[in-house]
Structure 1
Amino acid sequence: MAVERHGAVTFKGNPVTLIGPELKVGDQAPNFTVLANDLSPVTLEDSKGQVRIISVVPSLDTGVCDLQTRRFNEEAAKLDGVKVLTVSVDLPFAQKRWCGAAGVENVQTLSDHRDLSFGTAYGVAIKELRLLTRAVFVVDQNDKVVYVEYVKEATNHPDYEAPVLAAKKALGQ
């Protein structure tokens, strides 16, 4: 049975339960299987050897999530050698439609709707809502976690600069 972390974050001011472990800097990044916009499976292994910024959002169809994904899309355009992934439980079809409408081309959106593989491995699955809480992870070329932020209030913005700096540091910049 997965670890449950009661009150680890709030959603609209209400404490919620996160399923899965709280990852820390230095941890080995857990593998996961999510779906790309074309329904093909995507794992952490698929981007092995690259620095990855993993931006986690509850739903692309909300204001903060929309802005977070657009911001990391802008950052991704400036970061050579860094792969930016956005994970939510939105359906792959909705993610594809959103990316097209938003002109987002530098971030790969991935859906964890099928079995919450990412959410439970990274400790971001909200038990009460079957959504992912807002978080940002940076994983280096050796699959080590080098940056973690679980946003305490899921409707607030994450820190945008710290994960970019952590990604640059992982690249040796």
Structure 2
Amino acid sequence: MSRRVQIDDPKNDDDVPKNDDVPDADSSQLRKRDYIDVPSHPYLMKLLNKQGDQIVLFADRVLKFTGSGKMKCRILLVTDFAIYIVDPETDSLKRRIALAAVEKICLSELSDNFLAVIIPTEYDLLIASARKNEIVAAFVEAYELEVVSSNRFEYNAASDLVKEIEFEEAEGGVKTRILRK
């Protein structure tokens, strides 16, 4: 069963036949990973349409870690072709990463919320989300990416800055340390 969300252009919504009497068995599944209701955000629709992406596999707010270690609230969109990082305050695209450029996904073996997207040709992306397993599932569905589980891994926080992230079980949760290499 597919879990993809087909994004229709809202201008052409009148052309789409509607059948409200009988719900589609897959309709709840299709919207399962769209936690921000992408079609209700015109700027996201415009962005996706401009880039030619039609299928959203995951959409939600996440915390993105900058090279300096600051956390920024961002909208993460995963389509069948790319990853989008959007600033929800300014409605602006901060970064678009082609899935073909992604080498692998790194995450810990513990119940934390961290996930690193490793991109050899650029700097990597470190994010935190309570829905990290759904994000990984969307990546794998889109591009069958390698997923590496380890309680310690390195990532390029900036073009000239390598950091190491360590996870260890602690009383009441997971202790996470981000170290400069």
Shared fold (TM-score greater than 0.5)?
no
TM-score norm. by structure 2 comes to 0.26
Q: Which has the larger radius of gyration?
A: 2
Q: Which has the higher contact order (CA 8 A, sep 6+)?
A: 1
TM-score norm. by structure 1 comes to 0.27
Larger proportion of helix:
1
